């Protein structure tokens, strides 16, 4: 049986309670403010807050500030005055990056063919975004979004632009008020989630671990996926590239899952357990109809309008099952 650290034991216990007990209301503004002392420093532990976010989620009124802690935009040890300084510094740094970009843009256009191609791809992707709410009000600024994506591409040497980033950054723009917050939260989100949504860094590893997890927990399903269903799991890379964004019924559900991923609770790389839980939703149909790879992919793509809490609960149940088993070392190192 896997030996658990005290922190993992706590996570296991609380994960089980998340599954079995009706979820309490999300953390609201009054409760969030109560986590801080008179100097604006956290009076509760980071672990306490993260476990509560896993179990309960965040009210929209506190999400922006809480995410700044979860991503690393703010230090958990900072005071209110220190956070004001951080905000000012991040704004100035963003403005400096924008000025640098304006200066080197002609050079990039002339010397780097990939820049022009990427800029065109960003522009094309953004134009496809629907920018209005149900009442017809414009809710996103496409020009600012394009600027942030271009700047991210130029400045981020690890994560090149990939299709889907425009949808992810849009959600950050909807959450916060200022451009510098959108830019930095996206950068910190990529780092905090270990670039798990980046094709050339984390996506392949996630898919490999998902295959390993299926083989370990569900050998019957794994046998089918390696036989008639060959190639299906590797084709599920959009789940990871978009952090499951298209599977949910609302932006609030997307944010709900993402903030859980940012907590690192109940374990690292929780996104793999989420993907496993999604596959379990189509398992019975796949085996009953003896589906081939393309049909499995279609069934998975039809998993839409999901409830984030139900999916998180299912993934926590997988975690609770895992910690009772003798998990193979590669899988254990990646998840536990």
pLDDT score, position 181: 98
- Domains of the chain, with CATH numbers? 1-18+198-335 (1.10.472.80), 79-192 (no CATH)
Beta-bridge partners for 58: 27
Helix ranges (H only) for 193-269 are 204-217, 219-226, 237-241, 251-263
Q: What is the DSSP letter of 101?
A: H
List phi, psi (to 5°) of 237.
-55, -30
Note whether 256 and 308 are within 8 A (CB).
yes
190 token code pair? 């990529």
Rounded CA-CA distance 104/100 in Å is: 6
Say whether 292 sits in a helix, a strand or coil.
coil
Cβ atoms 268, 335 nearer than 8 A: yes
Cα–Cα–Cα angle for 262, 265, 268, rounded to 5 degrees: 80
Of 135, 132, 136, 134, nearest in space to 174 by CA: 132
Q: How far is CA 111 from the centre of its chain?
A: 34
Phi, psi of 36, deg, nearest 5? -115, 150
SS3 label, residue 334: helix
pLDDT at residue number 18 = 52
- Give the model's pLDDT for residue 95: 97
Range list of H helices, 289-307: 293-301
Neighbours of 132 (CB within 10 A): 10
Across the strands, what pairs with 36?
42
pLDDT at 62: 97
Dist. CA 148–CA 175, nearest whole Å: 15
Q: What's the whole-model pTM score?
A: 0.91
Q: Which of 94, 315, 72 is nearest to 194 (CA)?
A: 72
Q: For the CA atoms of 265, 268, 272, 277, what is the dihedral angle to 10 degrees?
A: -30
Contact 255, 70 (CB under 8 A): no
Q: What are phi and psi of 42, to 5 degrees?
A: -65, 130
The beta-carbon contacts of 31-34 under 8 Å, at least 24 apart in sequence, are 32/58, 32/59, 32/62, 32/65, 32/66
What are the two backbone dihedrals, phi and then psi, of residue 27, each rounded to the nearest 5 degrees?
-65, 120
- Digit-by-digit pLDDT tens for the chain (336 residues) are 444 444 455 455 554 545 544 568 999 999 999 999 999 999 999 999 999 999 999 999 999 999 999 999 999 999 999 999 999 999 999 999 999 999 999 998 888 778 999 999 999 999 999 888 778 888 899 999 999 999 999 988 778 899 899 999 999 999 999 999 999 999 999 988 888 899 888 999 999 999 999 999 999 999 999 999 999 999 999 999 999 999 999 999 999 999 999 999 999 999 999 999 999 999 999 999 999 999 999 999 999 999 999 999 999 999 999 999 999 999 999 998
**Distance, CA of 318 to CA of 296 (rounded, Å):** 21
Q: List all residues 6 or more positions away from 236 whose beta carbon is below 8 Å from its beta carbon.
A: 207, 210, 275, 279, 297, 300
């Amino acid at each position: 049986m896997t030996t658990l650290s005290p922190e993992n034991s706590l996570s296991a216990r609380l994960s089980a309670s998340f599954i079995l007990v009706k979820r309490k209301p999300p953390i609201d503004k009054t409760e969030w403010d109560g986590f801080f002392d008179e100097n604006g420093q956290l009076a509760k532990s980071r672990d306490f807050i993260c476990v509560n976010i896993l179990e309960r989620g965040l009210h929209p009124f506190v999400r922006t500030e809480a995410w700044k802690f979860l991503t690393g935009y703010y230090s958990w040890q900072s005071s209110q005055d220190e956070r004001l300084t951080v905000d000012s510094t991040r704004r100035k740094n963003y403005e400096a990056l924008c000025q640098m970009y304006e200066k080197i843009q002609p050079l990039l256009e002339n010397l780097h063919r990939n820049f022009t191609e990427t800029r065109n791809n960003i522009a094309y992707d953004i134009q496809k975004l629907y920018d209005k709410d149900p009442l017809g009000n414009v809710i996103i600024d496409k020009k600012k979004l394009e600027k942030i994506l271009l700047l991210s591409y130029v400045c981020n040497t690890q994560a090149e632009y990939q299709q889907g980033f425009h949808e992810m950054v849009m959600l950050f723009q909807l959450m916060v008020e200022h451009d510098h917050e959108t830019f930095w939260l996206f950068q910190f989100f990529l780092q905090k989630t270990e670039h798990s949504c980046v094709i050339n860094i984390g996506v392949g590893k996630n898919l490999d671990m998902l295959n390993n997890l299926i083989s370990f927990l569900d050998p019957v399903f794994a046998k089918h996926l390696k036989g008639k269903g060959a190639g299906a799991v590797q084709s599920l890379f959009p789940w990871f590239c978009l952090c499951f964004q298209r599977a949910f019924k609302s932006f609030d559900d997307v944010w709900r899952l993402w903030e859980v991923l940012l907590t690192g609770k109940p374990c690292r790389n929780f996104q793999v357990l989420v993907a496993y839980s999604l596959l379990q939703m189509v398992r019975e149909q796949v085996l009953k109809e003896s589906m081939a790879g393309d049909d499995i992919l279609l069934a998975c793509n039809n998993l839409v309008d999901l409830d984030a809490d139900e999916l998180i609960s299912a993934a926590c149940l997988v975690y609770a099952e895992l910690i009772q088993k003798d998990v193979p070392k590669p899988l254990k190192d990646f998840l536990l």
